[in-house]
Amino acid sequence: MMFGRQARVATVSAAVVSLVLAATACTSVDDDGGGSGDGDNLAITFLPKNLGNPYFDTSNAGGAEAIAEFGGEYAEVGPAEATPDSQVSFINTLAQQGVGAIAVSANDPEAICDALNEARDAGVGIVTFDSDTNPECRDLFINQADAEGIARVQVDLIAEQIGGAGEIAILSASANATNQNAWIALMEDYLAAEYPDITLVDTVYGDDDDQTSFDRTAGLLQTYPDLDGIISPTTVGISAAARYLSTSSAQGQVALTGLGTPNQMRDFVDDGTVTAFALWNPADLGYLAAYAAKALIEGEITGAAGDEFDAGRLGSYEVGPDGTVLLGDPFVFDADNIGDFDF
C-alpha cells in the first residue's frame, strides 16, 4: 500500500529529519531582498496554523528534510493561536525579508489573502498545504488527500463503530478552517446519502487548542446524554477528546474517530478508548510542499494544470485543476498496525 511505503520511509528518515532540524533550527531567511525575479532564492519558510501542534512539527520536519536535500534555507514561523488573521503579520514580515516562498496552512480561506497577494506582488511564491486559501491568493495548494475520501473514511469508521445508527457530533478545529469546513460539508452530504439512521446533533469547535477541545468534549457529553459517537477531524481535537473519554464513564460507550497522529493516539488505542482513526503522512506532505515551492521559485512550474515537477524520494508529481497537487490516499490506523508507525 502506498501509504505503508511512505510511512516506512518516514520512519527510517526520522533520525535524518532530527539532524536536519538541529542543523537548520537557527537559520534565518535570506535577507538579500531577492524575492522578485531571483530564481535561486531557495529560502522557504513554513507557516503552520499555529505552533505547538505535533502534526505541524512533523509536516514541517518533512519540509526541512526536503530543503536540506536541495540546498535551500528552511525556516518556520507561526502564531500561538489558530485565529483567522493571526498569520497576517508573519506573511508581511516574510515579504519584507524577501523569502523565495512561503508554505502556509491557512486558518481562514480569505483573511490572509491581501497579505499573500502583496507578498506575491513582491515576488514571493505562495504554496498552501494542508488547509487552502481561496485559489486566487496562492500559486499552488498541496492537498493531503482527496477531500471526499477524507470525509468518507471518517463517516464509515464512526458508522461501523456505532453499528450504523445513533447520534453523533463533530469536534472540529477552528470555525473558519478551510480544510475542516470542506470535510465537514462533505461528511454531512455523505451521512445524509448513506446513513439515514445516524443523526449529526452538533458541530463544535476546539480551535485546535488542547484545553478548549477537551472542554468541548465534556460539553458535548453533558448536552447530549444519548450521544453514541464523536468524529474529530483534527489531530488536536481527537487526542484531547480521547484523553477526556479515557478517564470518563463514557469510555467504550461513546465511540471516537477522526484524524489523528499515531503517536498521539497510541495510548488510547491501547486502552480501548479508540478503535480506529485515519490520517496521511504529514512528513510527506511537508516534503512535497517544499519541493513544489522549489519548482515554483525556479520557474519550472507556475501552478498551471499539467505542470510536472520532481519531489525527491516521493517521485514526480503533476499539478491538477485549480493549482492543486494531491499527495495520496488517507490511511486507517488501528490496534493491528499502529505499532508500525512513529510520527
Mask for 239-268, x = binds ligand RAM (CB under 6 A): --------------------x---------
DSSP string, 162-181: TTT-EEEEEEES-TT-HHHH
Applying the rule CB under 6 A, the residues between 32 and 61 that interact with ligand RAM are: 49, 53, 55
| Amino acid identity at 300 | E
Binding-site member from 86, 128, 179, 239 for ligand RAM (CB under 6 A): 179
Q: Does 236 bind ligand RAM (CB under 6 A)?
A: yes
Euclidean distance between the first and the last CA atom of the chain, given in angstroms as a whole number:
18
Helix, strand and coil in the chain, % to nearest 5 = 45, 20, 35
Residue 259 DSSP label: B
Least distance in angstroms from the C-beta of 241 to ligand RAM = 13
Applying the rule CB under 6 A, the residues between 187 and 216 that interact with ligand RAM are: 208
Applying the rule CB under 6 A, the residues between 265 and 284 that interact with ligand RAM are: none
Specify the stretch interacting with ligand RAM by CB under 6 A; choose among 116-124, 193-201, 234-242, 245-253. 234-242
Q: Does 173 bind ligand RAM (CB under 6 A)?
A: yes
Asked if 242 and 274 count as a contact pair (C-beta separation under 8 A), the reply is yes
Nearer to ligand RAM, 27 or 134 (CB): 134
- Strand extents, DSSP E, 77-119: 101-104
Applying the rule CB under 6 A, the residues between 61 and 100 that interact with ligand RAM are: none
Specify the stretch interacting with ligand RAM by CB under 6 A; choose among 133-141, 190-198, 217-225, 230-238. 230-238
**Size, binding site for ligand RAM by CB under 6 A:** 13
Cell numbers describing residue 162: 456505532
Nearer to ligand RAM, 101 or 240 (CB): 240
Least distance in angstroms from the C-beta of 60 to ligand RAM = 12
Least distance in angstroms from the C-beta of 206 to ligand RAM = 10
Backbone angles phi, psi at 15, to 5 degrees: -65, -40
Least distance in angstroms from the C-beta of 204 to ligand RAM = 14
Among the listed residues 213, 151, 158, 136, the one whose alpha carbon sits nearest the alpha carbon of residue 182: 151
Among the listed residues 266, 260, 253, the one whose alpha carbon sits nearest the alpha carbon of residue 237: 260
Q: Would you call 341 exposed, middle or buried from its count of C-beta atoms within 10 A (0-12, 13-18, 19+)? A: buried
Site residues (vs ligand RAM, CB under 6 A): 49, 53, 55, 105, 130-131, 173, 179, 208, 234-236, 259
